[in-house]
């Protein structure tokens, strides 16, 4: 089969590899759509945590497709069934899992290999993080279950309440998914902050109430002005840079919450004002990945039409054009997610 192998930074090659055989409890899926992700772009541009991805590997982790072969020992799924699967499955046995922090599992099975004609789904993922995709949901939409699951985990943790003013730094795919989610959760004013006007326009089309380009207006002053001088109730950082993590702390009101969502380069640190934590009672939290429950919820929200992810797919490309797709994403101001159709 044809697959996109990642060897290192900006080194992505289309190769002919052996089509995997599903073993006990495993399933082989014919990939019908795989969507590009901010994490993929980061890995392509600057590498990533070795615990999560070991190179060389077939790249890509957001996918949906048709069951092509079912391994021994399974009563579900059936051949031909439309399915989506998550890129992780927790062990349920480690200390983190025993505490219910499944997204922090110490022995997570990670699944890479979406940018290929076929993907072999591990047994643990089949049982914990794979669902049938309803007919009316396209493969592209179903693939977006993965980033939406991560976003649901984040917004749930941040504890957004009806009427909360929410400022989101970064109008890329993850920032936009946060926007869609918090609006559905009853956010009051939503404020998107990004350096690229085209992205802000896109955010406004998706329902952002206010947009701020920090190159044109001071974001701290603008957010305060929009929130009667107090700052946002919730600030979400969806870029993954120490500078924007620090900026997020300056936009929040006293007693508010900062959700540092974007993963920063390894080894980086931020400065946090002790006064903001003490006198301002700011809550600062991180969020990483999602649990199988969030994946299930994300698919439900997509399938019910509660969260419409369709506009986020701005282009469709062939598997052969994968490298070009990432070059386009590196440079483009208007592309959000590209659906790769093997
Ligand atoms: Zn993703
Ligand atoms: Zn575990």
What are the beta bridge partners of residue 317?
A: 340
The model's confidence at residue 54, banded by pLDDT at 50, 70 and 90, is confident
Does position 290 have pLDDT exceeding 90, yes or no? yes
Tell whether 304 is covered by a domain: no
CA distance 72 to 259: 43
Q: Are residues 75 and 19 in the same domain?
A: yes
Proximal ligand: closest to the CA of 41 = 1
Own/partner pairs for 106-112, CB < 8 Å, 24+ apart?
110/52, 110/53, 111/61, 111/85, 111/86, 111/87, 112/53, 112/57, 112/58, 112/59, 112/60, 112/61, 112/87
Cα–Cα nearest to 332, from 151, 150, 202: 202
Note the pLDDT tens digit of each residue in 28-49. 999 999 999 988 998 898 877 6
Please state whether beta strands 337-341 and 27-35 pair in parallel, antiparallel, or not at all (unpaired). antiparallel
Q: Are residues 250 and 188 in the same domain?
A: yes
Beta carbons of 35 and 20 less than 8 angstroms apart: no
- Token pair for 98: 């025993």
Tell whether 300 is covered by a domain: no
In the chain, the number of structural domains is 2
Residues 6+ apart with CB under 8 A from 221: none
CA distance 289 to 296: 14
Distance of CA 38 from the midpoint of ligand 1 (Å) = 7
Proximal ligand: closest to the CA of 101 = 2
Does position 52 have pLDDT exceeding 80, yes or no? no
What integer pLDDT is reported at residue 46 of this predicted model? 83
Q: At 171, which CATH number? A: 3.40.50.720
Q: Is the peptide bond before 120 cis (omega within 30 degrees of 0)?
A: no
Tell whether 302 is covered by a domain: no
Distance of CA 109 from the midpoint of ligand 2 (Å) = 9
The model's confidence at residue 182, banded by pLDDT at 50, 70 and 90, is very high
The model's confidence at residue 197, banded by pLDDT at 50, 70 and 90, is very high
Distance of CA 270 from the midpoint of ligand 2 (Å) = 29
Distance of CA 54 from the midpoint of ligand 2 (Å) = 19
Q: At 324, which CATH number? A: 3.90.180.10
Note the pLDDT tens digit of each residue in 132-181. 999 999 999 999 999 999 999 999 999 999 999 999 999 999 999 999 99
Q: For the residues 279-292, what does the mean pLDDT come to? A: 98
Q: Are residues 9 and 135 in the same domain?
A: yes
Distance of CA 286 from the midpoint of ligand 2 (Å) = 19
Q: Are residues 25 and 100 in the same domain?
A: yes
Tell whether 303 is covered by a domain: no
Tell whether 297 is covered by a domain: no
Q: Are residues 166 and 105 in the same domain?
A: no
Q: Average pLDDT over the chain, rounded to whole?
A: 96
What integer pLDDT is reported at residue 192 of this predicted model? 98
Tell whether 301 is covered by a domain: no
Q: For residues 181-195, b (16+ Cβ closer than 10 Å) or e, as one string?
A: bbbebebebbbbbbe
Q: Is the peptide bond before 70 cis (omega within 30 degrees of 0)?
A: no
Q: For the residues 106-123, what does the mean pLDDT come to? A: 97
- Surrounding ion ligand 2 within 5 Å at CB are 90-91, 94, 97, 105
Q: For the residues 52-74, what does the mean pLDDT come to? A: 94
Residues 6+ apart with CB under 8 A from 269: 242
What integer pLDDT is reported at residue 47 of this predicted model? 78
Q: Are residues 107 and 168 in the same domain?
A: no
Distance of CA 163 from the midpoint of ligand 2 (Å) = 36
Tell whether 94 is covered by a domain: yes
The model's confidence at residue 294, banded by pLDDT at 50, 70 and 90, is very high
Residue with tokens 């995997």: 20
- Token pair for 38: 């901010």
* Strand runs labelled E in the chain: 2-8, 11-16, 27-35, 57-58, 63-70, 82-85, 88-89, 109-110, 118-121, 130-132, 166-169, 190-193, 210-212, 232-237, 252-260, 283-286, 313-318, 337-341
Proximal ligand: closest to the CA of 298 = 1
42 vs 308, more confident: 308
Proximal ligand: closest to the CA of 143 = 1
What integer pLDDT is reported at residue 48 of this predicted model? 72
Q: Are residues 133 and 154 in the same domain?
A: no
Distance of CA 177 from the midpoint of ligand 2 (Å) = 27
Q: Are residues 137 and 26 in the same domain?
A: yes
Note the pLDDT tens digit of each residue in 5-26. 999 999 999 999 999 999 999 9
Beta carbons of 245 and 264 less than 8 angstroms apart: yes
26: left (phi over 0), alpha (psi -120 to 50) or beta: beta
Half-sphere exposure of 266 (CA within 13 A, CB side): 8
Q: Are residues 250 and 166 in the same domain?
A: yes
The domain in which residue 235 lies consists of 149-286
Q: Are residues 139 and 153 in the same domain?
A: no
Phi first, then psi: give them for residue 170, nearest 5 degrees.
110, 115
Tell whether 294 is covered by a domain: no
What integer pLDDT is reported at residue 53 of this predicted model? 82
Beta carbons of 34 and 59 less than 8 angstroms apart: no
Q: Are residues 6 and 137 in the same domain?
A: yes
Proximal ligand: closest to the CA of 107 = 2
Does position 265 have pLDDT exceeding 90, yes or no? no
Does position 51 have pLDDT exceeding 80, yes or no? no
Q: Are residues 24 and 49 in the same domain?
A: yes
């Amino acid at each position: 089969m044809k697959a996109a192998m990642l060897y290192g930074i900006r080194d992505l090659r289309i190769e002919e590899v052996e089509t995997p055989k599903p073993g006990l409890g495993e399933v082989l899926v014919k990939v019908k759509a795989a969507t590009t992700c901010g994490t993929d772009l980061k890995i392509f541009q600057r590498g990533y945590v070795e615990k999560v991805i070991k190179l060389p590997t077939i790249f890509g982790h957001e996918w949906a497709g048709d069951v092509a072969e079912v391994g021994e020992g399974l009563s579900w799924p059936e051949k031909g069934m439309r399915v989506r699967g998550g890129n992780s499955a927790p062990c349920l046995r480690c200390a983190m899992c025993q505490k219910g922090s499944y997204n922090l599992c110490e022995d997570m099975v990670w699944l890479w290999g979406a940018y290929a004609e076929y993907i072999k789904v591990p047994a643990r993922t089949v049982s914990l993080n794979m669902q049938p995709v309803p007919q009316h949901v396209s493969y592209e939409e179903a693939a977006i279950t993965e980033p939406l699951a991560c976003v649901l985990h984040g917004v749930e943790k941040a504890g957004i309440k009806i009427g909360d003013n929410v400022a989101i730094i970064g109008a890329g795919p993850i920032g936009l998914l946060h926007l869609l989610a918090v609006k559905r959760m009853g956010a009051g004013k939503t404020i998107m902050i990004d350096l690229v006007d085209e992205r802000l326009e896109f955010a406004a089309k998706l329902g952002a109430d206010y947009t701020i380009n920090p190159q044109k207006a001071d974001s701290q002053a603008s957010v305060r002005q929009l929130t009667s001088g107090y700052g946002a109730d919730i600030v979400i950082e969806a870029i993954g840079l120490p500078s924007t993590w620090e900026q997020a702390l300056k936009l929040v009101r006293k007693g508010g919450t900062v959700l540092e969502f974007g993963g920063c380069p390894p080894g980086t640190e931020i400065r946090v004002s002790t006064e903001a934590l003490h006198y301002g009672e700011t809550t600062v939290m991180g969020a990483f990945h999602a649990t199988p429950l969030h994946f299930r919820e994300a698919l439900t929200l997509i399938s019910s039409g509660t969260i419409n992810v369709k506009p986020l797919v701005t282009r469709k490309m062939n598997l052969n054009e994968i490298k070009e797709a990432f070059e386009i994403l590196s440079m483009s101001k208007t592309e959000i997610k590209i659906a790769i159709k093997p």
